[in-house]
Amino acid sequence: MPQWFVRGLRRGVVTTRYPDHADASASVLPSPPAFRPEELTGQIADSLVQICPSWALTRAGDVLVFDAGACTACGQCRESEPRAVTTSREFGLAATDRSALVKRIPLLGEAGQ
Amino acid sequence: MTPNASVTEIATTATAETEKAAAEALRRSVSSQFGRSLHIRTLDTGSCAACEQEIRLLAAPHYDLHRLGFFFTPAPRHADLLLVTGPMLRAFGVAARKTYEAMPGPKLVVATGACALGGVYQPDAFSYGSVDQLLPVDVWIPGCPPSPLGLLQGLLVAVDRLAERVSVLSFVAGSES
Amino acid sequence: MTALVLFGIAAVAWALAAVIALLAGMAGAGVRISCGLSALGGAAALAGGAAALLSGNSRVVSPGGSVVVGSLQLQASSLAGVFAVLLGVVAMAIALYLPRSRNEPSAGTALYLCAYNLALIASLAVLASGGVLTFLVAWESMALLCYLLILHRPRSSQVAGGAFWFLALSETGFVLIVAAFVILAAKTHSMQLDVIALRAHLVPADWRDTAYLLALTGFGFKAGLVPLHVWLPAAHPVAPADGSAFLSGLIVKLGVYGIALFAFRLLPEGPAWRGILTMGVGAVTAAIGILYALGERDIKRFLAYSTIENIGIIVTALGAAMTFLAYGQRALWAFLLLAALYHVLNHGCYKTLLFLEAGVTEHAAGTRDMDRLGGLARQMPRAGVIAFVGTLGIAALPPLNGFVSEWLIFEGLFQGFRTHSHLVAILIVLAAATLGLTSGLAIYAFVRGYGIPYLGMPRTRQAAQATERDQPTAGPALLAAACVALAVGAPVVLVGMARAIRTATGVVLRPILLPGKLTVIPAHTNFSGFSPTYLAVFLLAVLIVPILIYRAGRPRAGSDVAPVWDGGIIAFKPRMQYSSMTFSAPTRVTFEALYRPSVSVQRASDDPAGRSGPVHYESEATPVFERYLYQPVVRAVEWLADLVRPLQSGDVNLYLLYVFIAVLVAYLIVAV
């Protein structure tokens, strides 16, 4: 018991000061993927839809529909197509409207970025 | 934000402007009622308990939600916010409704975790698939499990102390937000 | 004098009731007329008792008798007046209860009613007897008639067994009572109780003490002192409900009357050890009574053990009173006697009530087993309320009457330091501590005794279908009203009883009991005091005033009505509730040394996970007194009988030889 007390005094205050200050650990947390539309062909999109174990990815014609709410940040999509998918490092993803979590990513072969 | 506080008559009356003004008034009232002291009741509707572990860490010294004025309470009668995890198993439906109805208004419901938001499990004979099939949800917090920081951000969004930002995120690499 | 006249009216009314019961008891109208007369007799007995209380010991009246047997001597003493008031109340309540509880009167009902009314006369005769012979004849008649009452439904061997225990122990006690009276009558050369009381100081001290011990044991058999109590749990369950009510409400009190008669009227002066012994016996009885009550599932056995507990409390108070007298504390002597008599009245009221309600329950739900009942307060609201009043009274919770009388007893015991003897003061405090334990356990036991059958959900279909249509309510309601009246009107009751005590003991108790109009103090102003009336008013206000304030200031805005938060459970099942044994389990485990439960467990197989079939679990408290005290005595008697049996060989010649030897011996004695 005294050891714990002394250790605590030496370490000082460890409480995060979020939301007043950013927390350093935010960047190393697992996060949903970010997509590169310039690499997303229709074929790659279909394989991503197959691979996602959480039904977060569906294809609607020329658009890849990504449901950030259903994403478990497992990383399967990134490991299978590392050029098309990278990690987004976003952590504050709360939404007051469920549809705000559903993102439409344009596929390659469409005009635009 | 869909209000499930008891002031529903404000939202049903007039035009878009008055609706917007009403939503603003409600937001301000939520912030004033819950912004400094919020009692949270957690509800596990069939999760793997990873979300529960992260929720439990909120009370630990590193994240310490007490400094923000948030507290956990086991009694729904004393709770302002219902924090729901799990894919809402059908066997749990009665208990979930009873817990929700035992909370006095105004109350908020926050669904957290990929299961609760509709991922991981599809609706079938054993689960509804997502929490909003049974309860009206105000804030959704994704993650599997959501980190304590994500949970804190979600709770602060629920009581209007932080602005929600995911609607402006595009999840496209190389873009700004 | 008026008291005796009123007692005479009561006796006549009951005699008429018995005759009508015998002649017309098989018809409903006959039952009702008989019970009406019985109630009338009860009212007359009540009035006579009150008159006897207030006017003191009356003259001895000898309305008859013969030279051979002696004369019938009647006297209305103030001590007996208290018990006569109780007899009147109990008789009225049972008379109101009887007609509706016997829906199909039969020959058995007619005989029962006849025996019951005759038993009432016999009890009144015990109380109104002024002479030894009258007392003994009345006592024995009362015992035999009560035996007939218990035997009302003789078809099962259990009934016969229970009734036999009652008779056997009653007769054993009777032998000792006869011995006690004979000693006193012989030494004082008189058969009249008044004269015996006057000349008691002439009797040598050790004869006096022997007579008292014989009386304590003999009347203890009837009153139910441990270890002489075993007939109570055997006889009460098998007797019909009103029979049990009569037994517990009145007959055991006659045992207390006998002890009080010897302790306070005939032999008041005596050594302190008599009082301490009585007090000790009472305290042990109280503790053991309530501990056994906690192990009972049958409502009537439970109530029988609770009677034993209350008798223990009363006898403890009597014993402490005797101890105080031996140390010269006359005020406390009179005070504790008053407290004990008040408790007699109170216990008579609420125990009779509870037994009658047990009868209503048995009739409505078909069972006496607590674990098969439940939710009766919702099915039978009137019975629920009345039983609740009785439960509050017997658990000695304010503001009801049990609280007042137990408070008086405790306050008397707490003043043990006034005896100026350290040992005696410690013993009195030990007795008070035992009574404290008993009171706590009694509350626990009666939360169980009311909560399991009346509250919660019905545990069986019969309980769910119980209804109080066609069930008697007037009798128990009368007793509930009496309980409340005895509590709120405690000052009035105490004034009346103080006058009776003044006659019995010569101590003027009124100014050191009720200095003002409504506050009661325990015989010494510098000790303590409280007012039952103010307490009742205060408790009512504490209940009602906040409710009124809330209703006045309640927010007018719409409010939501939501169901009670039950933990989200889908539906409650009756088996999720406490059972009577699990509720009392902590106490039974703590006092395992007393219960010595025998446990037997049988499994369908030895599968350690225990999933292979039903498990049979049986646990029974060892009947300690029956096994280690009574069975050896019975075996010894049987051995003696076997020894003597050869005398009855059946051979006429041997019998003629006996006659010859007897004549020879008689001749030799006369000649010599």
**Which SS3 state, helix, strand or coil, does residue C118 take?**
helix
How close is the nearest chain C Cα to the Cα of B95, in Å?
4
Report the gap between the CA of B118 and the closest CA in chain A (Å).
Answer: 6
CA angle B124, B126, B130 (to 5 degrees): 65
Residue C570 covered by a domain: no
Positive or negative: CA dihedral B4, B7, B12, B15: negative
Nearest residue on chain C to B101, judged by CA atoms? C562
User: For C584-601, what is the mean pLDDT?
Assistant: 89
Do C477 and C431 share a structural domain?
yes
Judged against a pLDDT cut of 80, whether residue C526 lies above it is answered with: no
- Is the pLDDT reported for residue C113 higher than 60? yes
pTM: 0.81
Give the total number of structural domains in chain C.
Answer: 3
What span, in angstroms and rounded, lies between the C-alpha atoms of C62 and C545?
59
Please report the pLDDT score of residue C435 as a whole number. Answer: 96
Give CA–CA dist B70/B40, Å, rounded: 7
Is C513 a residue whose pLDDT tops 80? Answer: no
Peptide bond into C399 cis (omega under 30): yes
Q: Are B69 and B37 in contact (CB under 8 A)?
A: yes
Structure tokens at B48: 């793997």
pLDDT value at position A57?
Answer: 93
Question: Which residue matches tokens 């049903």?
Answer: B12
Cis ω before B76 (30° cut-off from 0): no
Q: What integer best gives the mean pLDDT of chain C?
A: 88
C152-165, pLDDT tens digit by residue? 876 677 788 888 89
Q: What is the ipTM of this complex?
A: 0.86
Q: Classify residue C417: in a domain, yes or no.
A: yes
C81 in a structural domain: no
Whether A and C touch, i.e. at least 3 CB pairs below 8 A, reads as: no
Interface test with C, best of B98, B101, B107, B135 (most C CBs within 10 A): B98
Highest mean pLDDT pick, A92-96, C158-162, C490-494, C615-619: A92-96
Q: Which candidate, C295, A23, A100, places its Cα nearest to that of B151?
A: A23
Same domain, C486 and C635: no
Enumerate the residues of chain A whose CB falls inside 8 A of the CB of residue B157.
94, 96
Q: Which residues of B touch C557 (CB under 8 A)?
A: none
Q: Is A66 on the interface with B (CB under 8 A)?
A: yes
| Beta-strand pair C598-603/C615-620 | antiparallel
Whether C642 has its CB under 8 Å from any CB of chain B: the answer is no
Q: What is the pLDDT of residue C131?
A: 87
Residue where the block lists tokens 């306050």? C411
Residues of chain B with pLDDT under 70: 1-16, 19-20, 22-24, 26-28, 175-177
For chain A, give the longest Cα–Cα distance. Answer: 67
Q: Are residues C493 and C588 in the same domain?
A: no
Residue B126 has a pLDDT of: 94
For C200, half-sphere exposure in the C-beta direction (CA atoms, 13 angstrom radius) is: 22
Q: Which among A101, A102, A110 is the top mutation candidate for probing chain B, defined by the most B β-carbons within 10 Å of its own β-carbon? A: A101
Confidence (pLDDT) at C578: 92
> Would C44 be classed as within a structural domain?
no
pLDDT of residue B11: 43
Residues of chain B positioned with their CB less than 8 A from the CB of C561: none
- What is the Rg, in whole angstroms, of the alpha carbon atoms belonging to chain B? 16
In a domain, C216, yes or no: no
Of the candidates B114, B153, B174, the beta carbon closest to that of A54 is on B114
Decide if C241 contacts C160 (C-beta within 8 A).
Answer: no
Higher per-residue pLDDT: C614 or C418? C418
- CATH ID of A29-106, from 3.40.50.150, 1.10.510.10, 3.30.70.3270, 3.30.70.270: 3.30.70.3270
Q: What percent of chain C has pLDDT over 70?
A: 97
Q: Checking phi first, is residue B122 left (phi over 0); if not, alpha (psi -120 to 50) or beta?
A: beta
Strand bridging mode B70-72 / B38-44: parallel
Query: Based on the domain organization, do C485 and C520 belong to the same domain?
Result: yes
Confidence (pLDDT) at C602: 83
Residue B175 Cα to chain centre, angstroms: 29
Dihedral sign for Cα atoms in the order C72, C78, C83, C86: positive
Residue C547 lies in a domain: yes
pLDDT one-digit tens code per residue, C397-419: 988 889 989 999 999 999 888 88
Q: How far is A46 from chain B (nearest CA, A)?
A: 18
Same-domain pairing of C376 and C310? yes
**Which uninterrupted H or E stretch holds B40?**
strand B38-44
User: Do C597 and C662 share a structural domain?
Assistant: no
B156 contacts in A (CB within 8 Å)? 19
In a domain, C374, yes or no: yes
Task: Tell me whether residues B172 and A55 touch, CB distance under 8 A.
Answer: no
pLDDT of residue C669 exceeding 80: yes
Neighbours of chain C (3+ CB pairs under 8 A): B
pLDDT of residue C532: 80
Residue C611 pLDDT exceeds 80: no
| pLDDT tens-place string over residues C230-239 | 999 999 998 8
Return the H-helix or E-strand segment holding C243.
helix C241-246
> Of the given ranges (B149-163, C124-138, C324-338, C615-629), which has the lowest mean pLDDT?
C615-629
What are the φ and ψ backbone dihedral angles of C337, each rounded to 5 degrees? Answer: -65, -45
Stretch C528-546: mean pLDDT: 86
pLDDT value of position B6? 40
Residue C305 and residue C289 in contact, taking contact as beta carbons nearer than 8 Å: yes
Distance from CA of A37 to the nearest CA of B (A): 7
User: Which domains, from first to last, does chain B contain?
Assistant: 37-159 (3.40.50.12280)
For C245-258, what is the mean pLDDT?
Answer: 93
Do residue C505 and residue C650 come from a single domain?
no
pLDDT single digits (tens) C20-55: 988 887 888 888 888 999 999 999 999 998 888 888
Q: What is the pLDDT of residue C69?
A: 62
- The number of residues in chain A equals 113
Inspect the interface and report whether the beta carbons of B120 and A37 lie closer than 8 Å.
no
Contact residues on chain C for B98, CB-CB shorter than 8 A: 563, 565-566, 568
Do C477 and C347 lie in a common domain?
A: yes
> Which of B119, B140, B158 shows the shortest C-beta gap to A56?
B119
CB contact under 8 A, B67 and A15: yes
Q: Residue B13's pLDDT is what? A: 47
Neighbours, chain B (3 or more CB pairs < 8 A): A, C
Q: Measured between beta carbons, which residues in chain C are less than 8 angstroms from residue B77?
A: 565
Q: Give the domain-ending residue among C532, C551, C570.
A: C551
Is there a cis peptide before residue C227, judged by omega within 30 degrees of 0?
yes
Give the minimum alpha-carbon distance from B64 to chain C in angstroms, rounded to a whole number: 28
pLDDT recorded at residue C514 = 74
Q: Hey, which residues does A104 pair with through a beta bridge?
A: A65
Cβ–Cβ gap B102/C562 under 8 Å? yes
Lowest mean pLDDT among B110-124, C150-164, C290-304, C646-660: C150-164
> How confident is the prediction along chain A (113 residues), in pLDDT tens digits per residue?
689 899 988 988 888 888 888 888 887 888 999 999 888 888 999 999 999 999 999 999 889 999 999 999 999 999 999 999 999 888 889 999 999 999 999 888 754 33
- Cβ separation of C562 and B75 shorter than 8 Å? no
Per-residue pLDDT of C114-137, as tens digits, reads 999 999 999 999 999 888 989 999
**Maximum distance among all Cα pairs of chain C, rounded to whole angstroms:** 110
Range of the domain at C652: 624-671
Nearest CA in chain C to B99: C568
Q: What is the pLDDT of residue C651?
A: 87
Residue A63 contacts B where some CB pair is shorter than 8 Å: no
C281 lies in the same domain as C390: yes
Chain B residues near residue C570 by CB distance under 8 angstroms: 94-95
B28: Cα separation from own chain's centroid: 17
Domain check: are C485 and C369 in the same one? yes
- Please report whether residue C181 resides in a domain: no
Q: How far is B117 from chain A (nearest CA, A)?
A: 6
Model pLDDT, residue B15? 59
